[in-house]
Amino acid sequence: MKNTPLQSKSQQIKQKFLYSIRGNFTTWTLSIIIVLSIFKDLEFLALMGLILLLVRNDQQLGIRLRQLFVKVGKEGFEFRDPPEEAATADKESPQLQINDESQDYLWYGEANRLLQQNRLQEAEQKYNQVINEGSDESVIKDSYLNLGVVYLKIWHQTHNDDLLKKSIEASKKAIEHDPNGYRSRLNLGVAYSKKKETESDALNYFEEADSIGDMSDPITWGKVKLFKASTINSLSTRQDGEKYADKLREAEVSLLESIRFFETMSYHPEAPWLTHEASSLLDVLRRKIAQKG
């Protein structure tokens, strides 16, 4: 006997209702586990429960959480190198009459689309075309900036140190075209932070970027402050870390400022996990400061 349309509709509603109950049961179970784990001082279990809860309710957030640069140790959260994200310059190709000058923007716009689609080798070729054949100084400067990001992204896939060198060269070229560019300094800081022996250079670039940050882009400036604090934290744990101990208070202030920036941009898709990362690192730094008296 075939189901009538009304019966089929009733079955669909019933299935959705049962799925909703199962979902609520899972949510409540994880919530109870988290609360009990915190009460019993089982930080690791609480963290795992929180991650499962967040991943279950937000698939995209789950993907971002797996990219967080944290690990859990005996003393709580311990941060690794700053996140992979670097700054890009995005411009829309002007919808004007095509001439020799606007051709630069068309190439640049195409390169940006390729970068957004993660077609990195093609983006590299197109940015280099702008640099080698273009004539607009502003577009060439931004192409160097974004080319530095392209090489960083390829490095994350291959870990070929030659690509780190290319990223550094491209970002330095961007600074030559724009001496006050803080995004290029952010990219340099991220590139130098990938090697322990150049972390102090990374800190210098993060500090320079912080000193010339731009409130028109609080997310990027907040990242600069977060990465600077993360690098200070990393340097302070090394054998020669005592000379960076005095910077822990500075790092604490930077994190408070970064959290404020992220909170003002709470609608930005990156803001929640950036706030989480900054808040977790703030707890770590405050424990270190308390230990040092």
- Section 191-210 average pLDDT: 94
Is there a contact between 79 and 284 (Cβ–Cβ < 8 Å)?
Answer: yes
Query: Residue 178 pLDDT > 80, yes or no?
Result: yes
Q: Mean pLDDT, to the nearest integer, of 70-79?
A: 37
Residue 268's pLDDT is what? 92
Cα gap 134→80, rounded to integer Å:
39
pLDDT in tens, 161-176: 999 999 999 999 999 9
pTM: 0.69
Rounded to whole angstroms, how far apart are CA atoms 172 and 144?
Answer: 8
**Is the per-residue pLDDT at 177 higher than 90?**
yes
Q: Which of 193, 273, 263, 275 is nearest to 233 (CA)?
A: 193
Map 211-269 to HEC letters: HCCCCCCHHHHHHHHHHHHHHHHHHHCCCCHHHHHHHHHHHHHHHHHHHHHHHHCCCCC
| pLDDT for residue 24 | 52
Of all residues in the chain, the percent with pLDDT exceeding 70 is 67
Quick: pLDDT tens for 51-66.
665 555 444 444 444 4
Share of the chain above pLDDT 90, in %: 53
pLDDT(122) > 80:
yes
Q: Does 283 have pLDDT greater than 70?
A: yes
- Minimum mean pLDDT range among 92-96, 172-176, 186-190: 92-96
What's the mean pLDDT when you consider all of the chain? 78
